Amino acid sequence: MNDRECVALLGWALPRLGHRWEGYRRVRRRVCRRIAARLRGLGLADAAAYRRRLEADPGEWAALQACLPVTVTRFCRDREVFRALAAVVLPALAQAALAAGGTALRAWSAGCANGEEPYSLGLLWRFGLQARFPGIRLEILATDIDAQVLQRAGTACYPESSLRELPGEWRQAAFSRQGGRYCLRPGYRAPVRFVRQDLAQEMPQGAFHLILCRNLAFTYFSEPRQRRIASQLAERLAPGGCLVLGSHERLPRGTAGLQPWPGARHCYRKAPGVWQSEQRRREMRPPIGE
Ligand SMILES: C[S@@+](CC[C@H](N)C(=O)[O-])C[C@H]1O[C@@H](n2cnc3c(N)ncnc32)[C@H](O)[C@@H]1O
């Protein structure tokens, strides 16, 4: 299967899976390699034969879907975003939580790949903010559709190239060298919990103060799916909470309830409203039977 054939196949198949071709244009070679391997596994000669197979066998779409995820990432990818989180967003979230009597901030990394993004957030909190906000802990949920990347995330060992944007002191303190790889020490893994989840099908329960949804929905998903996901993410945010996108991504037009966060590029804020911690709400709930 050559590039032209693969591009034609993707142009036909991606919208049927709720994805957009433009998101895959630059990364298509790795996706095409996976599809070519699938063709070989099925003993099919070319892209046209694979298209006929997809038309005849609805079950094959799941196999094609599994060829699509692009898992490229690294620690503190888009440094500017992490700088804005440290300087502007997380302090504001922590102050609001304290003012409402809260003790925890809940963060969600949607499409976490091998764990670099949620672990970066944990390191940022630990080294940059924890001392300023000792009364607050950061809890991080990380989800991904791909079981293999989640397995790697649990192992938390990375090549040096993945750590290139991390400050040297963080690297020294938080990682140990093991056979040429850098492994995150257990204490730094603890705040992150990994769950396998398809963002297009389901979202975690409860409200989040911070959601990172970068280089996934707003790059690869079709416009209608982006609009649906954007409004569901806005619903999942606690009042005053923040949604962070990738540096090449924009919210779909017409997304309600989110405004650019002043001084923090790629960050969007939900209107503050009344910020009440879960804890405070539980305390205020009348006892059962009243
Ligand atoms: C390019 S990586 C982005 C990693 C990280 N968020 C970042 O910006 O560096 C995209 C990740 O999204 C995951 N993914 C793709 N489709 C998904 C879906 N429907 N639900 C959840 N995760 C998905 C992929 O497996 C991959 O790990």
For residue range 162-176, what is the model confidence (pLDDT) as tens digits? 999 999 999 999 999
Q: Look at residue 277 in the predicted model and tell me its pLDDT.
A: 55
Q: Look at residue 272 in the predicted model and tell me its pLDDT.
A: 84
The reply to whether 260 falls in a domain is yes
Specify whether 149 is located in the same domain as 60: no
Specify whether 165 is located in the same domain as 39: no
Let me know the angle formed at the C-alpha of 9 by 8 and 11, rounded to the nearest 5 degrees: 65
What is the number of the ligand 1 atom nearest to the C-alpha of 199?
20
Cα(141)–Cα(208) distance, integer angstroms:
10
Put residue 215 in one of left, alpha, beta given phi > 0 → left and psi -120 to 50 → alpha. Answer: left
Could you tell me which residues come within 8 angstroms of residue 73 by beta carbon, excluding any fewer than 6 positions away?
Answer: 113, 114, 116, 117, 162, 215
| Domain end marker among 18, 33, 66 | 66
Q: Whose CA is nearest to atom 3 of ligand 1?
A: 215
pLDDT, tens digit, 9 for 90 and up, residues 111-141: 999 999 999 999 999 999 999 999 999 999 9
Can you list the alpha helix ranges (DSSP code H) found in 25-114?
Answer: 28-42, 47-56, 60-66, 79-84, 90-99
Mean pLDDT for the chain overall: 93
Nearest to 233 by CA among 85, 109, 93, 83: 109
Specify whether 33 is located in the same domain as 167: no
Beta-strand runs (E) in the chain: 104-110, 137-144, 157-158, 175-178, 181-184, 192-196, 208-212, 237-244, 258-260, 267-270
Q: Look at residue 290 in the predicted model and tell me its pLDDT.
A: 33
List, chain by chain if needed, residues with CB within 6 Å of any ligand 1 atom: 69-73, 77, 111, 113, 117, 144-146, 149, 198-200, 214-216, 246
pLDDT, tens digit, 9 for 90 and up, residues 212-260: 999 999 999 999 999 999 999 999 999 999 999 999 999 999 899 999 9
The reply to whether 44 falls in a domain is yes
The reply to whether 49 falls in a domain is yes
Total domain count, the chain:
2
The reply to whether 9 falls in a domain is yes
Q: Look at residue 132 in the predicted model and tell me its pLDDT.
A: 97
The reply to whether 114 falls in a domain is yes
What is the number of the ligand 1 atom nearest to the C-alpha of 72?
1
The reply to whether 287 falls in a domain is no
Specify whether 87 is located in the same domain as 57: no
> At 180, which CATH number?
3.40.50.150
Q: Give the max Cα distance, the chain.
A: 71
Specify whether 112 is located in the same domain as 251: yes
The reply to whether 286 falls in a domain is no
Specify whether 114 is located in the same domain as 11: no
CB 94, CB 129: distance < 8 Å? yes
Specify whether 107 is located in the same domain as 28: no
**Total-model pTM:** 0.92
Put residue 111 in one of left, alpha, beta given phi > 0 → left and psi -120 to 50 → alpha. Answer: left
Cα(206)–Cα(146) distance, integer angstroms:
23
CA distances from 106 to 8, 157, 207 (A): 42, 25, 8
Enclosing domain of residue 42: 3-66
| Domain end marker among 66, 91, 110 | 66
Specify whether 17 is located in the same domain as 161: no
The reply to whether 288 falls in a domain is no
Q: Look at residue 110 in the predicted model and tell me its pLDDT.
A: 98
